[in-house]
Structure 1
Amino acid sequence: MNKLIPFFILILTSCAVPKPVVTNTSFSTIYKSTNGGTENAGYLHITNNEDYIKLIETLKIDESEFNKLVVVNFKENDVIVLYQGQKTSGGFEIDVEKITWENKILLVTKTEIVPNKGEMVTMGLTSPYCITIIPKTNSIKIVQ
């Protein structure tokens, strides 16, 4: 019987339950605008401060807003910019609805707002975009 005790201890300790993997699904949209985006719909994944500063310098952002945007911790986070593309009127918006992980791919679910038919909107070209802080990742997939 004494010889079986070490055997049972070995079996019980080798059958440990694996610890669940905790993945960060927090995000924060820090800026949205209807003007200043790109002509075509798409996204830009920024992983370092230098590229981020270059981006926000090209956008038509008020100086008071600019100072709030430059504070991003790129050791823990990345930035994603979603572009809705050029539109012929106002009433359009784009934003991040949620993020989830699938294997090691960050799935970014976007939401796009379009004006209702017959709704009063401003007439003129717009190009909506949003800037969102996301967890650090090597791979992103945009879903709708």
Structure 2
Amino acid sequence: MIKILPFLFLIISCSPPKKIMDTTFTIIYNNQIGGSEKAGHMVIQDNESYIQFIESLKLEETQFANFLKVDFKKKNILVLNQGQKNSGGYEITIESIVNDNNTIIVKKKETGPKKGEMATSVITTPYCIALIPKGNKIIVE
């Protein structure tokens, strides 16, 4: 028994360290107006596309401070669109992220006005822009 213990210790201590998978995300911006009329998502993987996207939002200059410089070697930008809605009170955001061997699985959270709650009578197109980990594949659920 005593001879086996050093061997077990050697096996355990020589096993490779577990790689910690990045599951952090940052909501950069969200709004009820300005997203796509169709529900869906878009992944932005380079700075040029990101700048073009930001310019397409037609935001006021004061709102540009919300947008971060992104290191696209480590992160991607994910844009979630809830689609066109008949009233205010809708929102889309990220609930959680799982990094499964470089497959990024994003669980989105969509909310709407509660029954009986007052909401503005205006057409909205809620969207969310988030900084997510880089991955080989991105799945939005």
Name the TM-score, length of structure 2 as normaliser. Answer: 0.87
Deviation at 1:59, TM superposition (A): 0.7
Give the Cα separation in 2 of the matches to 1:117 and 1:11: 61
Secondary structure of 1:66's aligned partner: helix
Q: Cα deviation per residue 1:14-59 (whole Å; 9 max; x = unaligned)?
A: 6632311211111100100000100111000001000001111111
Match of 1:65 in 2: 63
Segments of 5+ residues of structure 2 without an aligned counterpart are: 1-5
Match of 1:109 in 2: 107
Secondary structure of 1:64's aligned partner: helix
- Asked if 1:131 corresponds to 2:104, the answer is no
Secondary structure of 2:73's aligned partner: coil
1:1-144 aligned within 5 A: 13=10, 16-143=14-141
How many aligned residue pairs are there?
A: 137
Secondary structure of 2:113's aligned partner: coil
Give the Cα separation in 2 of the matches to 1:136 and 1:103: 11
Percent identity reads: 42
Give the Cα separation in 1 of the matches to 2:55 and 2:68: 10
C-alpha RMSD of the superposition: 2.0
Deviation at 1:70, TM superposition (A): 4.7
More strand by share: 1
Give the Cα separation in 1 of the matches to 2:21 and 2:102: 10
Give the Cα separation in 1 of the matches to 2:76 and 2:27: 12
Give the Cα separation in 2 of the matches to 1:97 and 1:12: 41
Deviation at 1:12, TM superposition (A): 6.9
Give the Cα separation in 2 of the matches to 1:70 and 1:17: 38
Deviation at 1:101, TM superposition (A): 1.4
Which protein is bigger by CA-based radius of gyration? 1
Name the TM-score, length of structure 1 as normaliser. Answer: 0.86
Segments of 5+ residues of structure 1 without an aligned counterpart are: 1-8
| 1:97/1:109 contact within 8 Å kept | yes
